Structure 1
Amino acid sequence: MNPIDNPYAPGAGTPPPELAGRDDLLAAVRIATQRVRAGRHAKSVLMIGLRGVGKTVLLDRMRMQAEEGGLQTLRVEAPEGRSLPAILAPQLRQALLRLSRSEQARALAERALRALAGFAKALRLRYADIEVGIDLEPEPGLADNGDLEHDLQALLEATGRAAQAAGTALILFVDELQYVDEDQLASLVTALHRCAQQQLPVMLVGAGLPQLPGQMGRARSYAERLFDFPFVGPLDPAAARAALEVPAAELGVRFEPDAVQAIVEATEGYPYFLQEWGKHAWDVADASPIDRRDVDTASREAVAALDESFFRVRYDRLTPGEKRYLRAMAELGPGPHRSGDIASVLHRRVESLAPTRSNLIVKGMVWSPSHGDTAFTVPMFDAFMRRIMPGADWTTR
């Protein structure tokens, strides 16, 4: 089999050749964005799910849909250590410059650019990472109080009025929202709430780990009424088979039924893992059809590739104490696990491990499905921890 023709695409946010099993969610977001454009009520959308379920891919596909529908968009990722104003400001500037090319919206877009100038100038002392080009002089009193909650509200209001005049909507696509500080999340929720109250065409479509609804609720109690939180999980067996079989069939290659079933079971339907297994199965097969022996060989190579990339990049960010905590979780199985059970494996008191657990939540490695429970945010990470820290001596390192 020619590796140059290999259709599978295991990568961070890389679009798969067949985006299977997500049509309903894509349609729901498309309808919501167009309702906002029409001045009708629609909730903002925050997709939540574990690593490897394709949230970033979905976010990009949704943005493409929105732009094809004539909407203005911005797309940002919220990395650790960056402020929300810093990541939003440059993208808002680009969106406003596009809106200013509309004759109907030019004056309002220029006023919003003045608001952005005041916003950046007033908040630069508090958020030193703000870097944005200034096209117009600030308008005194417009988004320049130096208070993020009030200034972001004024800025999004001004931007929403420009979008409304242009007959479009502004859709904010934000990935990795769980890394935004809760006080900044509160300011964003407040601003979106105000835009909704004034029926301005501004909407957020975001993505994050499963702890995000709790963070939003703590930021603002009314967040649950402002957002929908669709859970993006692994693909069902039919969609998982389609993700494997359709790209191969388009190139005249097929899988034996038991080979497909073996991959679906090994990957548990997680889209990233399906791409990894599909890639290696293609590369090891001599010819079509890809059979069970090919998959058995590919499984060893896929696990090794995941260990050196998908899993290892997360493992290397951990302190020794955090590694031991996750290894103790792995000793108990996939999870979720009670904090007391994890502490027992480590022969420690629950209270003494609370800071480690909190740090792991901040790093996006674990989350709490319910009070006192802890679960991995990365599928199959328990098996990886047992492979990379085998034996029993890890408890005394």
Structure 2
Amino acid sequence: MNPVTNPYSPGAGTPPTELAGRDDLRETVRIAIARLRLGRPAKSQLLIGLRGVGKTVLLEQMRLDAEKEGVHTVRIETPENRSLPALLAPQLRLALLRLSRIKTAQHVAHKALRALAGFATSLKMKFGDIEVGLDFEPEPGLADNGDLEGDLTTLLAAVGVAAQHADTALVMFIDELQYVSENELAALITALHRCAQDRLPVAMMGAGLPQLRGKAGNAKSYAERLFDYPEIGPLEHDDAVKAILEPAREEGVAFEVEAVEAIVKETQGYPYFLQEWGKHTWDVARQSPITVDDVITAHQLTIAALDESFFRVRFDRLTPAEKRYIRAMAELGAGPHRSGDIAALLQREVTSLAPLRSKLIEKGMIYSPNHGDTAFTVPLFDEFMRRTMRLENL
């Protein structure tokens, strides 16, 4: 097959040709944003899922859907080493400048820009990474108290009034929310809560690893009522089949049934793995229809590609002690596993490993689905660890 026309696109947030199995959630978000725009109650959404389930791709598609409807959006990915105010400030500035070009919203958008100037100036000492162009002088007393929770609430309310006057909504699409510190997340939740109480058209569609649900609840007790938490998991069988077949069909290429079933079995329906297996199977196939032998031939190439990219980039961030902990987990299987079982394999006390476990959760490598349980946030990572690190190295 021609690699130039290969329709599969494994990558970090790279949109696939066929976004299968997510239509219901896209429609839920579309309705929520439409209600928000009319001043009616609508919950923000926090997409929860493991690595490789397509949260980033889905979040971006939802943002594009909203933009097509005339909604103003903000797109942010939160790394581990940046503050939320530093990420929000420049994006809100761009949104407000767009809103200020709408005649009915110009005056209130300018006021919101003055609030942003006060916000950035007053919090610069606390969050030294805030860098944002200031188009207006701060207005004394407007979002300039130096208290993140209060100032962010005032700022988002001002943004909401501007969006309201422009007959639109402002929706923040924020990825990797689990990396936001708890106090910053609490401030954001408080601000969104105030906007919801005042029926202002401001909302957030976020995404993060499974620990985000608990983190939001710890930040503010009412977070469970402010957000819906849809679980984004592997695709159902028929959707996984569609994700493989439709892109090929558009290129005039077919798959044998056994070939598709083999890919679905290998990938367990995880969207990223479907794209990786599809890509390498396409590249080794000589002609249509693509056969199960092609899938078998592509197997080692696919595993090698995953090991050197998807898995390795996460493995290389770990300290030697963290690698040993993860390798012990892998020896027990896919999980989840009891913390005591992991400690027993390492011949350590559970309490002595607690700081190490907490650090791995903070890095987004593992999470706790239930009290005392530990599971990987990366599907199939146990298999990678068994391939990569010998058990006797523990």
| TM-aligned CA deviation for residue 293 of structure 1 | 0.8
SS at match of 2:206: strand
Q: Matches of 1:31 and 1:70 in 2, distance apart? A: 14
d(CA) in 1 for partners of 2:344 and 2:193?
A: 45
Partner of 1:23: 23
Matches of 2:323 and 2:221, distance apart in 1: 34
Q: Secondary structure at the match of 1:311?
A: helix
1:43-58 → structure 2 map (5 Å cutoff): 43-58=43-58
User: Shift of the alpha carbon at 1:81?
Assistant: 1.0
The answer to whether 1:288 aligns with 2:288 is yes
Q: Which aligned pairs between 1:244-393 and structure 2 lie closer than 5 A?
A: 244-390=244-390, 392-393=391-392
1:145 match: secondary structure: coil
- Residue 297 of structure 1 and its aligned partner are, at CA, apart by 1.1
Quote the residue 2:82 is aligned against: 82
Identity among equivalent pairs (%): 68
AA matched with 1:394: N
* Cα distance between partner residues in 1 of 2:179 and 2:67: 26
Cα distance in 1 for partners of 2:231, 2:158 equals 32
The CA deviation string for residues 174-208 of structure 1, in whole angstroms up to 9 with x for no partner, is 00000000000000000000000000000000000
Q: 1:106-121 residue pairs with structure 2 within 5 A? A: 106-121=106-121
Residue equivalent to 1:12: 12
Task: Give the distance between the partners of 1:196 and 1:250, measured in 2 at CA.
Answer: 44
Q: Distance in 1 between matches of 2:172 and 2:38?
A: 17
* Cα distance between partner residues in 2 of 1:288 and 1:201: 51
CA displacement at 1:250 relative to structure 2:
1.0
TM-score (norm 2): 1.00
* Structure 2 residue matching 1:225: 3-state secondary structure: helix
Give 5+ residue unaligned stretches, structure 1. Answer: none
Q: Deviations over 1:22-71 (max 9, x none)?
A: 00000000100110000000100000100000000011100001010111
Shift of 1:294: 0.5
Q: Distance in 1 between matches of 2:2 and 2:71?
A: 41
Superposed CA RMSD: 0.5
- Could you say what secondary structure the match of 1:118 adopts? helix
| Distance apart, 1:299 and its partner CA | 1.4
Indicate the residue corresponding to 2:146 in structure 1: 146
Where does residue 393 of structure 2 map in the other structure?
394
Counterpart residue number, 1:228: 228
Aligned residue in 2 for 1:163: 163
1:103 — aligned with what? 103
Shift of 1:230: 0.1
Deviation at 1:224, TM superposition (A): 0.2
1:213 lines up with 2:206 in the alignment:
no
SS at match of 1:174: strand
Cα separation, 1, equivalents of 2:235 and 2:325? 29
Number of aligned residues: 394
What amino acid is aligned across from residue 374 of structure 2 in structure 1?
Answer: T
